[in-house]
Amino acid sequence: MTILLTILTLLNFHTPNLKVEGAWLRPAGKGMNSALYFEIVNNSNKPDTLYKVTSPAAELVQIHETFKTNGLMGMREVRFVVVKPHSTLTFQPGGYHVMFIKLKKDFKVNGKVNAVLYFKTNKEIKIKALVKRQ
Ligand SMILES: [Cu+2]
């Protein structure tokens, strides 16, 4: 029984219900803006909601969506993003992204930036994003 419980615990540890993968940011200078991209993989049979992202590397961090009206592209803040059960939601150029406004330091290629993603069910997920061009 103890062994079984241990195995179950290990399995659970190795397959978290919600994962954030491939996090990266665009390079930019101190005082400028950058954008953070990643994939959220939801392996559970329940939706989860991303409602906040924080980072010590920028004055302001916002979840943004890209939209198109009358052929013009724009972006705006969204209060939350729902990740459906058994699905992957990709934050990518031209879509959802996390805006880093007024960087507190230079984001140089190959640098790493810490951020925390807050979810309603799975609480917070800490990530280290890689700075790269694309
Ligand atoms: Cu934006």
Domain with residue 126: its CATH number is 2.60.40.1890
User: Ligand 1 centre from 35 Cα, in Å?
Assistant: 7
pLDDT of residue 123: 87
Quick check: is 68 in a domain? yes
Q: Per-residue pLDDT for 3 more than 90?
A: no
User: Ligand 1 centre from 38 Cα, in Å?
Assistant: 14
pLDDT tens sequence across 28-52: 999 999 999 999 999 999 999 999 9
User: Ligand 1 centre from 102 Cα, in Å?
Assistant: 12
pLDDT higher at 54 or 13: 54
User: Ligand 1 centre from 65 Cα, in Å?
Assistant: 7
Q: Residue 55: which domain range?
A: 17-131
Per the CB < 8 A criterion, the answer to whether 40 and 50 are in contact is yes
User: Ligand 1 centre from 9 Cα, in Å?
Assistant: 39
Structural domains counted in the chain: 1
The residues near 81 (Cβ < 8 Å, ≥ 6 apart) are 49, 50, 63, 89, 96
User: Ligand 1 centre from 98 Cα, in Å?
Assistant: 7
Quick check: is 11 in a domain? no
Quick check: is 29 in a domain? yes
pLDDT of residue 122: 81
**What's the predicted TM-score (pTM) here?**
0.86
Q: What is the DSSP code (8-state) at residue 43? A: -
- Cβ count within 10 A of residue 87: 12
Q: What is the DSSP code (8-state) at residue 111? A: -
Quick check: is 6 in a domain? no
Q: Is 132 helix (H, G, I), strand (E, B) or coil?
A: coil
Quick check: is 3 in a domain? no
User: Ligand 1 centre from 13 Cα, in Å?
Assistant: 34
User: Ligand 1 centre from 8 Cα, in Å?
Assistant: 41
Q: Is 5 helix (H, G, I), strand (E, B) or coil?
A: helix
pLDDT tens sequence across 73-120: 999 999 999 999 999 999 999 999 999 999 999 999 999 999 999 999
Quick check: is 2 in a domain? no
Banded pLDDT at 1 (limits 50, 70, 90) = low
Q: Is 73 helix (H, G, I), strand (E, B) or coil?
A: strand
User: Ligand 1 centre from 76 Cα, in Å?
Assistant: 6
Tokens at 1, concatenated: 């029984």
Q: Per-residue pLDDT for 21 more than 60?
A: yes
User: Ligand 1 centre from 33 Cα, in Å?
Assistant: 9
The string of DSSP letters for 52-65 reads EEE-TTEEEEEEEE
Element holding 100 (H helix, E strand):
strand 97-103
Quick check: is 50 in a domain? yes
Quick check: is 9 in a domain? no
pLDDT of residue 88: 97
